[in-house]
Amino acid sequence: MTQTILVLEDDVQLNETIKQFLLIKGYTVFCAYDGLQAEDVLYENHIDLMLLDVKVPLLNGFEFLKTVRSEGRNTPAIFITSLNSVKDVTEGFDSGCDDYMRKPFSLKELLVRVEFLLKRTYGTYDNKIDLGDNLLFDTKSLLLTQKNQKIPLRTKELKLLALFLQYPNELLEYEKIFETLWEYDEEPSVGSLRAYIKTLRAIIGKEKIETIKNIGYRFVK
- What SS3 string covers 25-49? CCCEEEEECCHHHHHHHHHHCCCCE
For residue 83, pLDDT beyond 80? no
For the segment 56-78, the average pLDDT, to the nearest whole number, is 87
Q: How far is CA 139 from CA 84, 128, 184, in A?
A: 34, 6, 23
For the segment 106-130, the average pLDDT, to the nearest whole number, is 76
Average pLDDT value over all residues in the chain: 86
Contact of 155 with 199, CB cutoff 8 Å: no
For the segment 24-31, the average pLDDT, to the nearest whole number, is 90
- Report strand pairing: 77-81 vs 49-52: parallel
- Secondary structure (DSSP) of 80-104: EES--SHHHHHHHHHHT-SEEEESS
Residue 123's pLDDT is: 54
Minimum mean pLDDT among 52-56, 62-66, 136-140, 160-164: which range? Answer: 136-140
User: Which segments within the chain are labelled E, that is strand?
Assistant: 4-8, 28-32, 49-52, 77-81, 99-102, 128-132, 135-138, 143-146, 149-150, 171-173, 209-212, 216-219
Q: Any bridge partners for residue 211, and if so which? A: 217
- Share above pLDDT 70 across residues of the chain, in percent, rounded to a whole number: 94
For the segment 158-164, the average pLDDT, to the nearest whole number, is 91
For the segment 158-167, the average pLDDT, to the nearest whole number, is 88
For the segment 154-183, the average pLDDT, to the nearest whole number, is 88
Residue 121's pLDDT is: 66
- List, in order, residues 6 or more apart from 34 with CB less than 8 Å away: 8, 10, 56, 57, 58, 59
| CB atoms inside a 10 Å sphere around CB 110 | 18
* Distance from C-alpha of 152 to C-alpha of 145, rounded to nearest angstrom: 9
- Report strand pairing: 216-219 vs 209-212: antiparallel
For the segment 55-73, the average pLDDT, to the nearest whole number, is 87
Q: Taking the CA atoms of the chain, what radius of gyration do you get in angstroms?
A: 18
Residue 124's pLDDT is: 45
Q: Which residue has the higher pLDDT, 119 or 66?
A: 66
Minimum mean pLDDT among 13-17, 92-96, 193-197: which range? Answer: 92-96
Tens of pLDDT, residue by residue over 180-207, are 888 777 888 899 999 999 999 999 999 9
| pLDDT interval class at 208 (50, 70, 90) | very high
Residue 125's pLDDT is: 44
